[in-house]
Amino acid sequence: MPAKRKKTKLTKTELKTYREKLLAERERIIRELGRIEETINEETNLQDGSKRSYSNHLADLGTDFMEKEKNFYYASQEGHYLRSLDEALERMDRGTYGKCEACEDLISFKRLDAVPGARLCIACKSKAEKDMRGR
């Protein structure tokens, strides 16, 4: 009996399913970035208007600054995630989507469902994280 061949790439149906997931997630992130931008703009307009009419208490200014910083942080994180989705779509176009960049095995469906932009399989991602921590 011949040995079972290891699957080396995703089927067209699987790729279509993941492309749809990536595009849907990409749209969600773009909407979220728009919401964050609106919030930042609203906060900036409120702060500009309030500076003209009266001075705020230092605690209020600190809270406003912290909220603005938090929104900038969220926007940065969402921007990084959007970039990973775009890179996943590029890998899909090149025919390398779903293949671990380290060991070249297929990334499990479970992992791709959880992290559609995944570049590494679970084993290689765990190893990379351990190496970063110096273990």
Asked if residue 40 has pLDDT above 70, the reply is yes
pLDDT confidence bin for 43, thresholds 50/70/90: confident
Greater pLDDT, 134 or 37: 37
CB of 117 within 8 A of CB of 84?
yes
Q: Please write the tens of the pLDDT for every residue from 66-110.
A: 888 898 899 999 999 999 999 999 999 999 999 999 999 999 999
Residue 52 is predicted with a pLDDT of: 47
Q: Are 87 and 94 in contact (CB under 8 A)?
A: no
- Identify the residue with better confidence: 27 or 134: 27
Task: Say if residue 43 is exposed, middle or buried (CB neighbours under 10 Å; 0-12, 13-18, 19+).
Answer: middle
Ordered structural domains, the chain, with CATH: 11-97 (1.20.120.910), 98-135 (no CATH)
- Give kind and range of the element (H or E) at residue 124: helix 122-133
